Structure 1
Amino acid sequence: MKPHVAAAAALLLIALVAAMTAGAVTFNATNAASGTAGGRRFDQAVGLAYASQVLSNASTFIWSAFNQTSPADRKPVDAVTLVVEDVGGVPAFASGDVITLSAPYVGNYSGDVKTEVTGVLFHETTHVWQWDGQGQANGGLIEGIADFVRLKAGYAPGHWRQPGQGDRWDQGYDVTAWFLDYCDSLRPGFVAQLNAKMKDGYTDDFFAQILGKNAQELWQDYKAKYA
């Protein structure tokens, strides 16, 4: 091969590699609470390398659950970051593409903390990727979808309420997760379709559009199933 041809081929290869990696998502974890009991337990029982891998695994699982096979279908997120902080109140929360994990929660958790943190990260990573109806969807549904993903990934903890329990379909978290699981059993891929519709807005009528019954009718059917 002539030198100028080889150089051109090398430049083409570099361009192709750059194009393939430009849309890649990076996953990072840091422990800003390593001096606390919870931060030390995180380092010993979970670790930054494992947590970063969970962020990656969770994202791949979420893309599959939401049927987002192409990056064009997803939120334009370049990096997902976990920060372990000395904050209380909730086990974790997501703000944009940054997930904050409570070091006190990790330190005080009495069970298998590695499995619990894994489940929490699946939930919070869902918030990074899910659509929220341009801010129109209610919080109960948003949290329910995140717990639905945690449920389907196999990380539903034993302290969750059981299927059929709860007072409202949009009560949130485990109650709504089990309800969405029921809806998904009626039409496999329901949650993926619901999430896709929530890219541009939200109305409760999405349930009827997909399943032929409104959310309250589906909730009554769901409750009757477990009566």
Structure 2
Amino acid sequence: MACHKIFLAISLMLVVSMVNAVDFSVFDNTGNSPGGRRFRDEIGSVSYGEQSLRSATDFTWRLFQQTNHSDRRDVKMITLFMENGRTPVGLIEGIADYVRLKAGYVASHWVGAGGGDRWDQGYDVTARFLDYCNDLRNGFVAELNKKMRNGYSDGYFVDLIGKDVNQLWREYKAKYGQ
């Protein structure tokens, strides 16, 4: 009889663990691109990516003290898609901070207009540069954002304003005496 109770307890634990199990998958859509090769050479394989997702999820559950399945949101699958995004990260961060700038949520530590070393430095620097570009052409940032849905090209600045991004950066810096 004790053997049946142990079997029942183990069976219930397995069923509960399967109900709350999370499937992890990684799709590497980078092909033989430089970024794809770098990922595989320096980071590893798709199976390593799945292992990393599992480790990150377990770490997060421990960090937020969600050791019991009932403490966690019921998530069935976590998927990572590896893509060939060539958009400068600083531009993406800059667009986010541009929204903050326009909403009036400028942090006290932000550089002033004209500050920074590169237009794609990111965050406050790029936000201020984008604001300058938007002053040259109203709606510039919205149009740039639309164009970036399928990738990125420095040529978007020429398309939208008629000037190379590096020329715009030089003019921006000169305007503010930098």
TM range (shorter): 0.5 to 0.7
Distance 1:182 1:134, change over 3 A: farther
Contact residue 134 and residue 199 of structure 1 kept, 8 A: no
Partner of 2:129: 179
Alignment of 1:73-112 (within 5 A): none
Quick one: which of 175, 189, 197 aligns to 2:147? Answer: 197
Q: Percent identity?
A: 60
- Alpha-carbon distance in structure 2 between the residues aligned to 1:156 and 1:136: 28
Alignment of 1:53-72 (within 5 A): none
Structure 1 position 154 matched with structure 2 position 99: no
**Alpha-carbon distance between aligned partners in 2 of 1:159 and 1:200, rounded to the nearest angstrom:** 33
Question: Match for 1:170 among 92, 106, 120?
Answer: 120
Q: Aligned with 2:149: secondary structure?
A: coil
CA distance in 1, matches of 2:84, 2:161: 22
Q: Is the 8 A contact 1:134 1:200 kept in 2?
A: no
Report the CA distance between 1:134 and its aligned residue: 6.4
**1: CA distance between counterparts of 2:118 and 2:151?**
22
RMSD: 2.2
Are the equivalent residues in 2 in contact too, given 1:161–1:175 (CA < 8 A)?
yes
- The letter for the 2-side match of 1:190 is F
User: 1:86: Cα distance to partner?
Assistant: 6.0
Matched residue type, 2:161: L
Counterpart residue number, 2:156: 206
Letter in 2 for 1:166: G
Letter in 2 for 1:188: N
Structure 2 gaps, min length 5: 1-61, 65-82
Q: Is the Cα contact below 8 Å between 1:163 and 1:226 reproduced in 2?
A: yes
Distance in structure 1 (CA, Å) of the matches to 2:109 and 2:152 = 31
| Counterpart-to-counterpart distance in 2, 1:152 and 1:190 | 14
Aligned residues: 99
Deviations 1:115-156 (A, max 9, x none): xxxxxxxxxxxxxxxxxx962201010000000001001101
Greater C-alpha Rg = 2
Counterparts of 1:168 and 1:184 in 2: how far apart (Å)? 17
Residue identity matched to 1:158:
S
TM (norm. structure 2) is 0.52
> In 2, are the aligned partners of 1:140 and 1:173 still within 8 Å (CA)?
yes
Aligned-pair CA distance for 1:201: 1.4
Q: Which amino acid aligns with 2:112?
A: Q
Q: Which runs of 4+ in 1 moved over 2 A?
A: none
Change (3 A) 1:154 1:134: farther
